């Protein structure tokens, strides 16, 4: 499977990255080399092999559904780019 | 005292031959006068460090010292430390001051250790040369025209330049071991799940693991004693009985079976790296170990699987940087979507964007099975190879990296070429196994060569023994770089 310029642009759009036409072409060239490395995966038959999602085959640990954290919104919002009245500010979404 | 090991410094502090304030100030002075040469640290905060040192001295005076109380330690700049700027080597977090401590930082603080500063790194830990740092690359103390390796390049350079007696790093595909090798220091990546990832800025969560970097294996053991421990806030933290990682250090190595994977001694390795590693193996035979040839047949697929899995997880993890809750926000934008796009495009560097794009692509509709699931199946084959290999040997040894430190700029044009720098280290991350690198000699240009030791799950104490005994009989780890000697 070889990568196309449209693939790069589509991935950029999904990833919320702004990439110009010239940069897209350069990225395509570099990623094509990376996907040549990745293509090596096709050389091996993996039918019947269980995917390994995690280094230790363990179940995710569960905890009691109780409050463990105290309210720290002032601390956390003190490092936010824009806050007003305890709310994070973003550009207007609904007119 | 700049030459001293952690064990010696700990004794000096306990016997009040030096104070933590004196020790910390000595290292801060060295950093101030040499930072421009190696660019190993992104942030220092002498007032905060010296206040911690003062508190440590008071604790020592009260007779409440732990082994690392009063010892200054540099931390890779992806461990969140309350009140410290924590950049992850990125413009995105250039002005991010962490509101909380990582579990590892908490443990060092509880021990009474001193935070000496935050070390340089490839942006979001993505890189093998430290050249992807927004703050300029760290430089190798053995030759400042050469790379340090990465991503924990600043930590490796700080130890190699004697700007810190020890440092922390993290390793997702070799990011502790490869810079340790290229800078001539010792470094260990524990079994996945040993060290809590809480407060460690995420790259690829199923592979990321923190670990120590220092001058010798004994120091690594002392650091590991502090870093390892269960933490409920990391869902993959392992609950294991407590153990002292120093407990096996002096055991003899007679009867140790060392497995040599034929795939790790093939093409692509420099002849000097090969001969230096072989000389290291000969030393192990003198110490009573035997070597056996083993096979890791799926290992040539490890780079391919890694460059699907790691970018996939990274693209998901890095979606949190949206300019809303913390970190960088672009100054000018039209609407919400434009704010996201401009913030991320201006805040992330080239390599990070490249990996986000790879990850987004392999996870996108129609490609998930062909790439992501396929890579996870290969990951299991790689892990099974190791399980079989450990039926025939106790430790696996190989070069850490196929070459010594390369020139700054030599591989930046071709990412695929750069990725091959981690060809021997990545498989241990995919399998979740512990791995380490120790210095085993130099090439003709005077650049250090690293010997990689991969152990079975939870065998860190034995690995440290294997490394320590070697360091009792050799002096490669005692060699000082030109910057350290200056």
Determine whether B151 is an active site residue. Answer: yes
CA distance A28 to B285: 49
**What's the pLDDT tens digit per position in B5-31?**
999 999 999 999 999 999 999 999 999
Pick from B304, B352, B356, B385 the residue to mutate for testing the A interface (most A CBs within 10 Å). B304
**ipTM (interface predicted TM):** 0.95
**Closest by Cα among B481, B463, B398 to B190:** B463
Selected catalytic residue, list B5, B10, B19, B76: B76
Task: Give the global pTM.
Answer: 0.97
CA distance B105 to B82: 9
Quick one: pLDDT at residue B132?
A: 97
Contact indicator for B129, B149 with CB cutoff of 8 Å = yes
- Give the SS3 label for residue B205: coil
A87 touches chain B (CB under 8 A): no
A60 touches chain B (CB under 8 A): yes
Pick from B357, B360, B426, B458 the residue to mutate for testing the A interface (most A CBs within 10 Å). B357
Contact B357 A60 (CB under 8 A): no
**What's the pLDDT tens digit per position in A32-74?**
989 999 999 999 999 999 999 888 777 778 888 999 889 999 9
Quick one: pLDDT at residue A1?
A: 57
Window A:29-58, CB contacts with B under 8 Å: 30-31, 33-34, 36-41, 43-44, 46, 49-56, 58
Per-residue pLDDT of chain B (486 residues; tens, 9 = 90+): 788 999 999 999 999 999 999 999 999 999 999 999 999 999 999 999 999 999 999 999 999 999 999 999 999 999 999 999 999 999 999 999 999 999 999 999 999 999 999 999 999 999 999 999 999 999 999 999 999 999 999 999 999 999 999 999 999 999 999 999 999 999 999 999 999 999 999 999 999 999 999 999 999 999 999 999 999 999 999 999 999 999 999 999 999 999 999 999 988 889 999 999 999 999 999 999 999 999 999 999 999 999 999 999 999 999 999 999 999 999 999 999 999 999 999 999 999 999 999 999 999 988 899 999 999 999 999 999 999 999 999 999 999 999 999 999 999 888 888 888 889 999 999 999 999 999 999 999 999 999 999 999 999 999 999 999 999 999 999 999 999 998
Contact B358 A34 (CB under 8 A): yes
B98 is written with which tokens? 């962490």
In angstroms, the separation between the Cα of residue A59 and the nearest Cα of chain B is 9
Say how many C-beta atoms besides its own lie within 10 A of residue B29's C-beta. Answer: 11
Contact indicator for B483, B161 with CB cutoff of 8 Å = yes
Selected catalytic residue, list B175, B302, B421, B481: B175
Contact A31 B357 (CB under 8 A): yes
In angstroms, the separation between the Cα of residue A44 and the nearest Cα of chain B is 8
On chain B, the residues whose CB falls within 8 A of the CB of A34 are 307, 354, 358, 415-416, 419
In angstroms, the separation between the Cα of residue A57 and the nearest Cα of chain B is 10
What are the extents of the domains in chain A? 5-43
Quick one: pLDDT at residue B322?
A: 96
- Under 8 Å CB pairs connecting chains A and B tally to 165
Contact indicator for B419, B374 with CB cutoff of 8 Å = no
On chain B, the residues whose CB falls within 8 A of the CB of A18 are 341-342, 344-345
Quick one: pLDDT at residue B362?
A: 96
Quick one: pLDDT at residue B475?
A: 97
Quick one: pLDDT at residue B83?
A: 97
On chain A, the residues whose CB falls within 8 A of the CB of B357 are 8, 11-12, 15, 17, 27, 31
Q: CA B447, B481, B180, B3 torsion: positive or negative? A: positive
Q: Phi, psi (5° rounding) for residue B439?
A: -70, 135
Query: CA geometry: angle at B125 spanning B165 and B265, to 5°?
Result: 85
Contact B341 A17 (CB under 8 A): yes
Determine whether B437 is an active site residue. Answer: no
Contact indicator for B405, B146 with CB cutoff of 8 Å = yes
A24 touches chain B (CB under 8 A): no
CA distance B196 to B174: 18
Of 1.10.20, 3.40.190, 1.10.3470, 1.10.600, the CATH number of A5-43 is: 1.10.20
Find all residues with CB under 8 Å of B32, minimum gap 6, and list them: B44
Q: For B6-256+391-485, which CATH class?
A: alpha beta
Q: In this complex, which of B207, B345, B354 lies closest to A30 when CB atoms are compared?
A: B354
**What's the pLDDT tens digit per position in A70-90?**
999 999 999 999 999 999 999
CA distance B210 to B175: 10
B235 is written with which tokens? 């869902």
User: Chain B residue closest to A7 (CA)?
Assistant: B361
């Amino acid at each position: 499977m070889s990568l196309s310029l449209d693939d790069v642009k589509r991935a950029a759009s999904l990833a919320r990255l702004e990439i110009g036409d010239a940069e897209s072409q350069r990225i395509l060239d570099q990623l094509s080399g990376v996907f040549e490395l990745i293509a090596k995966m096709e050389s091996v038959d993996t039918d019947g092999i269980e995917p390994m999602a995690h280094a230790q085959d363990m179940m995710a640990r569960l905890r009691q559904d109780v409050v463990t954290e105290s309210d720290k919104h002032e601390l956390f919002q003190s490092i936010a780019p824009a806050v007003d009245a305890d709310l994070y500010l973003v550009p207007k979404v609904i007119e | 005292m700049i030459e001293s090991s952690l064990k010696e410094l700990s004794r000096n502090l306990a016997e009040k031959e030096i104070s933590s304030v004196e020790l910390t100030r000595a290292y801060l002075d060295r950093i101030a006068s040499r930072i421009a040469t190696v660019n190993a640290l992104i942030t220092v905060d002498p007032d905060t460090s010296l206040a911690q040192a003062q508190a440590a001295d008071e604790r020592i005076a009260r007779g409440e010292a732990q082994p690392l109380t009063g010892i200054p330690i540099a931390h890779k700049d992806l461990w969140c430390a309350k009140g410290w700027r924590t950049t992850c080597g990125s413009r995105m977090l250039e002005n991010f001051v962490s509101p909380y401590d990582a579990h590892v930082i908490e443990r060092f603080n509880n021990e009474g250790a001193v935070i000496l500063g935050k070390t340089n790194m490839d942006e979001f830990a993505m890189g093998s040369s430290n050249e992807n740092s927004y703050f300029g690359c760290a430089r190798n103390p053995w030759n400042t025209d050469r790379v340090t390796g990465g991503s924990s390049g600043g930590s490796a350079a700080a130890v190699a330049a004697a700007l810190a007696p020890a440092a922390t790093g993290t390793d997702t595909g070799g990011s502790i071991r490869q810079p340790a090798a290229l800078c001539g220091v010792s470094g260990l990546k524990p079994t996945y799940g040993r060290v809590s990832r809480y407060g460690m800025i995420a790259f690829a969560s199923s592979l990321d693991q923190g670990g120590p970097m220092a001058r010798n294996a004994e120091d690594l053991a002392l650091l590991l004693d502090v870093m390892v421990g269960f933490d409920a806030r990391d869902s993959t933290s392992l609950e294991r009985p407590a153990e002292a990682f120093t407990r096996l250090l002096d055991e003899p190595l007679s009867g140790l079976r060392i497995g040599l994977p034929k795939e790790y001694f093939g093409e692509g390795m420099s002849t000097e790296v090969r001969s230096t590693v072989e000389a290291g193996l000969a030393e192990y035979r003198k110490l009573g170990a035997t070597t056996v040839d083993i096979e890791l047949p799926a290992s040539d697929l490890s780079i391919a699987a890694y460059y699907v899995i790691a970018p996939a997880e990274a693209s998901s993890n890095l979606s949190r940087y949206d300019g809303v809750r913390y970190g960088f926000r672009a100054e000018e934008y039209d609407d919400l979507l434009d704010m996201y796009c401009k913030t991320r495009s201006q805040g992330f560097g080239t390599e990070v964007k490249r990996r986000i794009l790879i990850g987004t692509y392999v996870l996108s509709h129609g490609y998930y099975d062909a790439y992501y699931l396929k890579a996870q199946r290969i990951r299991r084959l790689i892990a099974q190879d190791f399980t079989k290999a450990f039926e025939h040997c106790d430790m696996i040894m190989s070069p850490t990296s196929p070459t010594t430190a390369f020139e700054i700029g030599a591989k930046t044009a071709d990412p695929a070429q750069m990725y091959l720098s981690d060809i021997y280290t990545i498989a241990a991350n995919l399998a979740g196994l512990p791995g380490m690198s120790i210095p085993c000699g130099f090439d003709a240009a005077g650049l250090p060569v690293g010997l990689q030791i991969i152990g079975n799950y939870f065998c860190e104490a034995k690995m440290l023994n294997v490394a320590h005994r070697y360091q009792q009989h050799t002096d490669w780890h005692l060699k000082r770089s030109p910057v350290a000697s200056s």
